[in-house]
Amino acid sequence: MTNVRRGPRQLMNGLRALPLMCFAAAGYGDMRQLDDTALSRIQGQSGITLEMDLNMAADSLSYYDDGQAVRLEGFKVGSSESPGQGALHRTRIDIGADASLNLEYLVEDRRIEFSDIRLAGAPGLSMGGVFFDHSLEGMLTIRQGGAVGGNGYTFDTAYTMTGGRLGYRTNGNAVFLDDITMSVEALGVTLDVVGNTLELVSPMVKGNWSVGAIRFSDNPVYHGASSGPGGVPLASYGALESSFELSSRTGITAGGRQGQGLRIDHETTIHTASFLYVDDGNALALRDITGNYRIHDLRLDVDEDWEGRAAVALTLGKLDGQVNIGAVELGSGGLSFGSVNLSFVLEDHVFNGRGYTNALYLQGGGHPDAGPQGLRLATEWSLRLADLSYTEDGNRVIISGLQSWGRGDVTVNVTRDEVRNGTRFYDGLRVGFDGLKAGYRINGLRVGSDDAPLQGGTELLLALGVYPAYEFELDGHVTLGAGGASGDGLTINSDIYIRDGKAAVIAAPYDEGNGEIPQKGLWLTEMTYEGHVRNMTVDVTEEGLVMETGEAWSDMDVGNVRVGTSTDGASFGRLKLQSFEQGSSMVISPGGAGNVCVGGTGSSSSSCSDSGGSWEARGEEGVTIAMKKILARAEGPDKRNAVLWETNRVVDGQGKAINGTGTQLLINDIHTSDGGDFNGDGIDDNTYGIRTDLAVDIYQTKVTKKDSGPDSRGVVGSRGDEKIMDPNAPQGYRYVSEPGQAELVNRPLGFAVKAETRFKELSINNIDLIHRNGGAQTAVFGAKLQNFDIRANLTATPIP
């Protein structure tokens, strides 16, 4: 492994010898003379049976690329159940009548482990360690002749893995997949040399796998075990299950992006697949998955990143593909949100005048305060184009022209609940962000089909907490802990810091078909954001996906709220929003509003019509969200719910307004309450909060023309005419004065929202007017809203 052979023939020769090398390497670890008793265990009726207990160790395995090395240190192979002992390997070798080599193998309780992955150019830092436990039973047949000629090989293989564990360790803490089982069958796999490329083709790979639990351990004494002190099972994030049928083609060529290295080209077709996340018996299921993707010119090098840091470099030429998820199911009722389709192209592109590529530089270290072990990913990405569509009950909306770009460091550590080197860490897998400059934008919505006209309406995504366009510089972390509100699940702690943010609240397209143009809209610019979440649990339950937040507070300071472009749009001034919540929760469940009487009352079509309403059967799919937001009373200037608007600021030498130098309006300490102290603890109860139930469907909506004459696309109609979709019309629609039943079914699609918001009491402590010299003057000494129940039936339709 210390030298990489360059030519494909040499690579081929190496691969021919690979099975033998594996057995040879295995044999080196424990080779000894066999006595008669041991010899009797070799059953040679129709071949040879080899059996051994393998226990081996190596201080370091190194891979060199252009003189730079990556090392696997503390490499061990042995028994996973009896540390220090060997793992049983039994292989039966037979030569078939067609000169094929047939191997049947059994491996029991094997652990393959290395304690550190280090780069020679980064002394003192490690990417952390990995361990892999498994028992394996299967067969492998190798015969002469590949897909393109007699010089290649054809493989048939099938195996079952049981008792698997795959873990990642840093600084004594581990996250691992526990109780893995996997069965795979791949027949007719061919290996050939095509030109200067080694080509591996798998016409059909079928299999399934499951992970019994994803566990977290903060106790190195119980390394690699499913249970901790007292035999109590370690906390679990939940379980996974999947099945798949796919075919693939992989090409491997010598040569990295620079000098030595490896080039990989790959394509996979997913014929069918499913994926389930299971939490205490309740599943989030992605079913009927199909798709394909192609990796073009992926290079592997040991290199340096853009800051000259030693790294294992993965650089990508292009990745494109599409994935369709036929049904997203959640909860006990087997209800589905609908289906999702994503198409994407990742390749080099210029965003905002700067070129971006797709590259990942793996380095050791992680967060500098977490210890010497961890993973640092210097990352750059360029999503040139993606379309994401959502279909429910046959109605489809496409988020079109999604682009994203970014560059910066992502760190990964497994951490425990402690303050270490001055930094607060939490139990779990910590994903950190270090100077990550990134952005994304959406061009618009398309309704119905991929070639439908581009429309506006991306601001509807705000209902999901997503800005239509966003650029930012990100620091902070999200730590995913094991265990939910009860049993399996997730516990999230996070601290997020954003600088130089530019977020669109309303955004016009960035490309209307004639090339890129500055994206106009309503922008929040010169934004800083600080958000903290403590003990937010995420569980899949019978009702749906349940998120309960212990405490969350944030501070978003928008330097300018601009209309126009994000750089030179006119400004409304500064806006600062603070939020502070305790005990808020959200439940997301499949299924929308069902049958709705819009504009009337009634539980049937006839009674609804009698009341003057319109009966709408919105189907079984859709999204329902139940939220409870408990706005806590202020606990100082950093933890409160408040809104501040500032204008008339002094500008600096560059003409930039200086925050805090103008006139301010402050709405201070907005909080909810149950309306009294009912438990007698001396403070008002605050358990009800603001409760909102939302049911969202994609449904046909009534859109009428507001003025007579041609519209913005030149389609003529009279005021009050209805817009009816018509694929035969030049613009895809026409206006109809009195649509019949056949035309009503072709009304345009939009988002239908049935909502109810209620709260017992919402208070504002004070509203102040603040002058930069005169100080604060209170204008309103308290406001109180009580007993509100607001219900709405709204349809929001994108329009061109």
Partner 1 sequence: MSRGTFRFSLASLVCFGLQALPVSVLAEMAPLGDDALSDVSGQGGIYLSGDISINEVGGPVENSYFGRCEEQDKKCGARFAYRLKEDGGWMVLDEIRGKFSFEGLTLRVRSIDSGFGGDGEVFDRDVIELGLPDTVRFSDVQFKLAASSTARPTDPGFQQTDIFAIEMQGDVVMQGNLLVFPDGNP
Nearer to partner 1, 325 or 442 (CB): 442
Question: What residues form DSSP beta bridges with 544?
Answer: none
Q: How far is the CB of 796 from partner 1 (least distance, A)?
A: 5
Vertex 554: Cα angle to 553 and 559 (nearest 5): 165
Q: How far is the CB of 539 from partner 1 (least distance, A)?
A: 19
Q: Please name the residue ranges forming H helices in 547-701.
A: 605-610
Nearer to partner 1, 62 or 648 (CB): 648
Nearer to partner 1, 385 or 796 (CB): 796
DSSP-derived letter for residue 499 is E
Q: What are phi and psi of 37, to 5 degrees?
A: -65, -45
Q: How far is the CB of 572 from partner 1 (least distance, A)?
A: 5
Nearer to partner 1, 112 or 506 (CB): 506
Q: How far is the CB of 328 from partner 1 (least distance, A)?
A: 22
| Distance separating the N- and C-terminal Cα atoms of the chain | 60
Q: How far is the CB of 525 from partner 1 (least distance, A)?
A: 11
Q: Give yes or no for a contact between 412 and 366, defined as CB atoms under 8 angstroms apart.
A: yes
Q: How far is the CB of 381 from partner 1 (least distance, A)?
A: 24
Burial 407-422 (b: 16+ CB within 10 A, else e): bbbbbbbbbbeeeeee
Structure-token pair, residue 177: 């997949």
Nearest to 414 by CA among 453, 457, 465, 375: 375
Q: What are phi and psi of 445, to 5 degrees?
A: -115, 145
Structure-token pair, residue 117: 């992955």
**Cβ within 8 Å of residue 779, ≥6 positions away:** 767, 768, 769
Nearer to partner 1, 30 or 743 (CB): 743
Nearer to partner 1, 142 or 460 (CB): 460
Nearer to partner 1, 375 or 753 (CB): 753
Distance CA 294, CA 320 (A): 5
Q: How far is the CB of 671 from partner 1 (least distance, A)?
A: 13
Phi-psi region of 504 (alpha: psi -120 to 50; beta: other; left: phi over 0): beta
Q: How far is the CB of 305 from partner 1 (least distance, A)?
A: 33
Q: How many CA atoms lie within 13 A of 370 on its CB side?
A: 34
Q: How far is the CB of 503 from partner 1 (least distance, A)?
A: 10
Positive or negative: CA dihedral 533, 537, 540, 541: negative
Q: How far is the CB of 517 from partner 1 (least distance, A)?
A: 7
Nearest to 100 by CA among 157, 44, 51: 157
Nearer to partner 1, 59 or 568 (CB): 568
Q: Give yes or no for a contact between 537 and 548, defined as CB atoms under 8 angstroms apart.
A: yes
Q: Give yes or no for a contact between 753 and 792, defined as CB atoms under 8 angstroms apart.
A: yes
**Cβ within 8 Å of residue 145, ≥6 positions away:** 152, 153, 154
Residue 719 has a CB neighbour count (10 Å cut-off) of 11
User: Coil, strand or helix: which one is 30?
Assistant: helix
DSSP states of 330-372: ESTT--B--EEEEEEEEE-EEETTEEE-EEEEEEE-SSTTS-S
Nearer to partner 1, 569 or 591 (CB): 569
Structure-token pair, residue 106: 């059994």
Distance CA 471, CA 356 (A): 15
Q: How far is the CB of 254 from partner 1 (least distance, A)?
A: 50
Nearer to partner 1, 236 or 443 (CB): 443
Q: How far is the CB of 407 from partner 1 (least distance, A)?
A: 25
Nearest to 328 by CA among 16, 588, 539, 717: 588
Nearer to partner 1, 284 or 630 (CB): 630
Q: How far is the CB of 587 from partner 1 (least distance, A)?
A: 15
Nearer to partner 1, 128 or 569 (CB): 569
Distance CA 300, CA 309 (A): 16
Nearer to partner 1, 168 or 472 (CB): 472
Nearest to 573 by CA among 525, 642, 505: 525
DSSP-derived letter for residue 23 is H
Q: How far is the CB of 438 from partner 1 (least distance, A)?
A: 18
Q: How far is the CB of 674 from partner 1 (least distance, A)?
A: 9
Nearer to partner 1, 340 or 642 (CB): 642
User: Coil, strand or helix: which one is 696?
Assistant: strand
Nearer to partner 1, 514 or 741 (CB): 514
**Cβ within 8 Å of residue 799, ≥6 positions away:** 455, 456, 457, 703
Nearer to partner 1, 622 or 798 (CB): 798
Distance CA 15, CA 576 (A): 62
Distance CA 223, CA 163 (A): 16
Structure-token pair, residue 492: 């999230």
Positive or negative: CA dihedral 691, 697, 702, 708: positive
Q: How far is the CB of 292 from partner 1 (least distance, A)?
A: 32
